Amino acid sequence: MSIFVDKKNTRVIVQGITGRDGLFHTRKMKAYGTRIVGGTSPGKGGTTVDGISIFNTMHEAVERTHANTSIIFVPAPAAADAIMEATDAGIQLIVCITEGIPTQDVIRAYQYADDRGSVLIGPNCPGLITPGESLVGIMPGQIFSKGNVGIMSRSGTLTYEVAHHLTLAGMGQSTAIGIGGDPVIGKNFSEVAELFLTDPQTKAIVMIGEIGGNAEEEAAEYIRIHNTHSKPIVAFIAGKSAPPGKQMGHAGAIVSGNSGSAAEKIAFLEHHGILVAEDPADIPALIKLRIEN
């Protein structure tokens, strides 16, 4: 079963479709088979790009296309407003690719969306893909293959690397979701783990974490309690060499003292029965090991 997106039901509006990144990735998503039903760009309503209708507002776009999903390529200063506009228009799933959004803006936009029942993925994320069904994001679709391993990740590039290794090992993916690396995000590891644990297609789960915060630890606790079908769980934690107090890459990847360090996270996950790979290339073998045991 698809998580969040599929070929039949997912109808996507691209917010910021006429920008460089928006148009580039719209073409990639459309080529993959995603149902792109429109885009928004204030002042350009009534025009088209690559045969896709452009609207001035999300309300107009949803009314005309019956879209249920949006992907945001709007610049950071306006991205929070774009999230809230999509929510007001009745969009059920909002995928925010934009990075560099001020944290206070994300808090405000996330709360607004959550209070009204919209699901937010991101911001500062690569989006999500259900292989062979739908790509709503910036992931390179050609490296993914249809199967039964669910991927949830704080890192875009590591998502691609792990998916590549899984595909080469003959382990296709059910859905891969990049949750984003900012301090405040929409769906977190625990919430995505809940969906994978209850998904009949997903037989194993890979969690790609990073130093900083406690999202991985919270997910490990949730999985320990709710993994009633004993699905194999394998993790990788990036940032082992990061010095304490140094921000590495994502805004959320910062270690304070021992809290949030790679060593601390790895020890916690292993204590909760999750196998942790030393290298992303080791993940397929660890999944196989856990299945056989």
Which amino acid does the sequence have at 182? D
Distance separating alpha carbons of residues 2 and 255, to the nearest angstrom: 35
Beta strands in 29-145 (DSSP E): 36-40, 48-49, 52-55, 69-72, 93-96, 119-121, 127-130, 134-137
Catalytic residues, by residue number, are 250
Please, what's the largest Cα pairwise distance for the chain? 59
Distance separating alpha carbons of residues 150 and 177, to the nearest angstrom: 8
Rounded to 10°, the helix 58-65/76-88 angle is 40
Both tokens of 15, joined, read: 């917010």
Distance separating alpha carbons of residues 26 and 194, to the nearest angstrom: 30
